[in-house]
Amino acid sequence: MALNKYLDVAPEVAQAVAGGKPVVALESTIISHGMPYPQNVETALQVEQIIRDNGAVPATIAILGGRLKAGCTREEIEYLGRQGQAVTKASRRDLAVLCARGADGATTVTTTMMIAHMAGIQIFATGGIGGVHRGAETTMDISADLEELASTPVMVVCAGAKSILDLGLTLEYLETHGVPVLGYGTKELPAFYTRKSGFEVDYQVDTPDELASIFHASRELGLKGGMLVTNPIPEAYSMDHEVINRAIDEAIAAANAQGIHGKATTPFLLAKVKELTGGDSLDSNIQLVFNNARLAAQTACALARL
């Protein structure tokens, strides 16, 4: 386990990592910025329970009082949920400032990967990753998540890239950086709210055991980067491809009209899509996170057996 003077690993998590037991990291941006209170806290606690029910130890990751937390208590999750958007959405560029100031931060995919790796956690479940934004050829708006996937050896289980992004360019960027994109039970890249995107992933993988063996081989080969597992939202909760795309186009037009850019873009677009779909997108968001937590826990258990 990497030692870091700013890192606090929860005793249960430290014990599991030291004993080679399965652990799954969870991000905290989804708590503070992804959903309204109290639904955010209820969802976060339910995700932790799903991981436990599937045989692994959950480690919700956040920055509290300038400390990097690998494993949060129920009270800390409640605090993050109540504070909501008052907590800084913390990417790689924010870490040093937050630690130096003793401030709070909700971790994105990027910072969750970083802190998980510091704590010796190899598997991370999230909703969807960031990527190349539409119009990035002029704005250069590309999520730091992709850069982190290229350099940090953590397996990220998600429901694909958020459908507000340019999915084709996101896949191209990952390919350029040597990040394998695996489709769980599918050859098509899922697009967060919907199972369809029209784009192909690199490989279809059909069992948690196979996912674990591929990640294990990557570590054995000494490959430096991470691995992206795209797990389609369950059919029952998948939104209609056309409906969600219309809502996204409308949300992007609203963001452009209001001059929204940078790290404010994703929360704005997700909130707008939720409004335009009458809340259906929030229900879908919760269900896909549950689904990813299950698969991540099963994969972590398979990895621990190798």
Indicate which residues carry an active-site annotation. Answer: 27, 162
Which residue in the block uniquely carries the two structure tokens 């003793």? 102
Q: Which two tokens stand for residue 5?
A: 């003077």
Measured distance CA(225)–CA(181) in Å, rounded: 12
Alpha helix stretches (DSSP H) within 66-142? 74-83, 95-101, 109-119, 136-139
Report which secondary-structure segment, H or E, holds 257: helix 241-258
Among 299, 272, 245, residue whose Cα is nearest residue 123:
299
d(CA 22, CA 298): 9
- Measured between alpha carbons, how far is 166 from 168 in angstroms, rounded to an integer? 6
Structure tokens at 254: 């609203």
Distance CA 154, CA 56 (A): 16
